[in-house]
């Protein structure tokens, strides 16, 4: 009997796996996959639950990998939901619940496709690996990164990997991701001297310096884009003094910027530019500027080629839609996988992810399973 990906999605949604809680989701998948002949290993690290499942021999000539996550973001105001967020309620052919789109449906679809494939047409000289984490929506330090560290230590390897994140924009099949922009956060603290607003000469106001710095950064044109990437962007996301008084010049001011960058830059090159801009403003205004930078992912690209072509052909064959090869969107765990093997991403339409009443049409889950199954057949043909 074929594995029903919609039923599996519903079962996973009923697991309250708000990051980093496992919530029973990985235990459910381990039971399914073990029963189908997969060797399952829990690769837990730092309080995070992770699962690696392999069918076939270690070191197989050809090994196809799937990557995904079962952790979900918090539900927010539960009273704003029209359905209980972990009840997996179905209405008119649509399944509702936290994680229904991002991305328990994707995990269910590739798990179901893999189970049926190895039972119906097992690849004699091949292997299928499923790397599933409970730490994608959180810090992502002990999730897919932990799985890849364990794989390297144990001699496990994927020839290629497909990440099942929601990638489609308007219609299932319209977008395959072949890369991602990098992401950098920078927190600036400008320190001056507090004083009375009526006697500004006795103080050193940090606000004009911060305003000048934020204007310089926000006005800068980082680049004009590259062959596969849109132009890089810098957004000022917060400026704060914490000053409730109208007659006090504050001692300090803080601001945060987020940079989404293409392959013209690295986290290191952008960090150097930010430090240089801060130093110039600090010298002009005679203030101190402290800067803390965190890079959550570098820009990367899997150049169009045999793997992206294989995925695109399967998508078109099952949906009738020719997908665009894109690098848009935020970060994903593909940023870790790209150091291990060629990686692309394909999944459902992501419009409702992270929203109240997150939902997925049930036919889309079945279509996604069919696409993943075709990809497996074509890869091992």
Q: Could you tell me the two tokens for 340?
A: 């291990």
Of the candidates 360, 374, 277, the one whose C-alpha atom is nearest the C-alpha of residue 316 is 374
- Look up 136 and say whether it is catalytic: yes
CA neighbor of 147 nearest in space, from 75, 248, 53, 241: 53
Token couple for 123:
């690849």
The three-point CA angle 302-68-158 to 5° equals 55
Q: Is 149 exposed, middle or buried (0-12, 13-18, 19+ CB in 10 A)?
A: middle
In sequence order, what DSSP letters do the residues of 19-85 get, joined into one string? TT--TTHHHHHHHHHHHTT-EEEE--BTTB-EEEEEES-TT-SEEEEEEEE--B-----GGG-SS-T
Q: What is the largest CA-CA distance in the chain?
A: 82
User: Virtual CA dihedral for 81, 83, 86, 88, nearest 10 degrees?
Assistant: -140
Residues 275, 186 contacting (CB under 8 angstroms): no
Question: CA-CA distance, 71 to 38, in Å (whole number)?
Answer: 22
CA–CA distance, 139 with 283 (Å, rounded to integer) = 35
Residue of 22, 102, 135, 136 marked active site: 136
For this structure, is 71 an active site residue? yes
Q: Which of 11, 22, 71, 263 is catalytic?
A: 71
Active-site positions?
71, 136
């Amino acid at each position: 009997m074929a594995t029903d990906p919609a039923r599996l999605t519903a079962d996973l949604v009923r697991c309250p796996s708000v990051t980093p809680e496992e919530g029973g989701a990985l235990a459910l998948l381990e039971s399914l996959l073990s029963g189908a002949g997969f060797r399952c290993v829990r690769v837990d690290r730092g309080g995070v639950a992770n699962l690696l499942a392999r069918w076939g021999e270690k070191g197989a000539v050809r090994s196809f990998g799937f990557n995904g996550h079962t952790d979900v973001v918090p539900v927010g105001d539960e009273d704003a939901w029209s359905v209980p967020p972990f009840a997996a309620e179905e209405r008119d052919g649509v399944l509702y619940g936290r994680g229904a789109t991002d991305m328990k449906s994707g995990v269910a679809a590739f798990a179901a496709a893999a189970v049926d494939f190895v039972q119906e047409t097992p690849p004699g000289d091949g292997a299928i690996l499923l790397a599933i984490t409970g730490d994608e929506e959180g810090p992502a330090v002990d999730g897919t990164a932990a799985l890849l560290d364990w794989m390297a230590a144990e001699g496990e390897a994927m020839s290629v990997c497909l990440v099942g994140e929601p990638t489609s924009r308007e219609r299932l099949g319209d977008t395959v991701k072949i890369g991602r922009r990098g992401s950098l956060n920078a927190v600036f603290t400008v320190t001056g001297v507090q004083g009375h607003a009526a006697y500004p000469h006795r103080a050193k106001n940090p606000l004009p310096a911060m305003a000048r710095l934020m204007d310089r950064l926000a006005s800068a044109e980082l680049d004009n884009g590259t062959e596969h990437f849109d132009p890089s962007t810098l957004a000022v996301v917060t400026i704060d003094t914490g000053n409730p008084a109208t007659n006090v010049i504050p001692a300090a001011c803080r601001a945060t910027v987020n940079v989404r960058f293409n392959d013209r830059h690295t986290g290191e090159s952008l960090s150097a530019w930010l430090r240089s801009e801060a130093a110039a403003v600090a010298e002009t205004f005679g203030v101190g500027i402290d800067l803390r930078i965190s890079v959550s992912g570098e820009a990367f690209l899997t150049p169009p080629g045999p793997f992206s072509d294989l995925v695109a052909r399967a998508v078109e064959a099952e949906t009738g839609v020719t997908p665009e090869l894109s690098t848009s969107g935020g970060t994903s765990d593909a940023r870790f996988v790209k150091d291990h093997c060629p990686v692309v991403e394909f999944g459902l339409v992501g419009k409702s992810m992270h929203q109240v009443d997150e939902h997925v049409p049930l036919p889309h889950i079945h279509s996604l399973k069919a696409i993943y199954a075709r990809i497996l057949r074509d890869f091992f043909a």
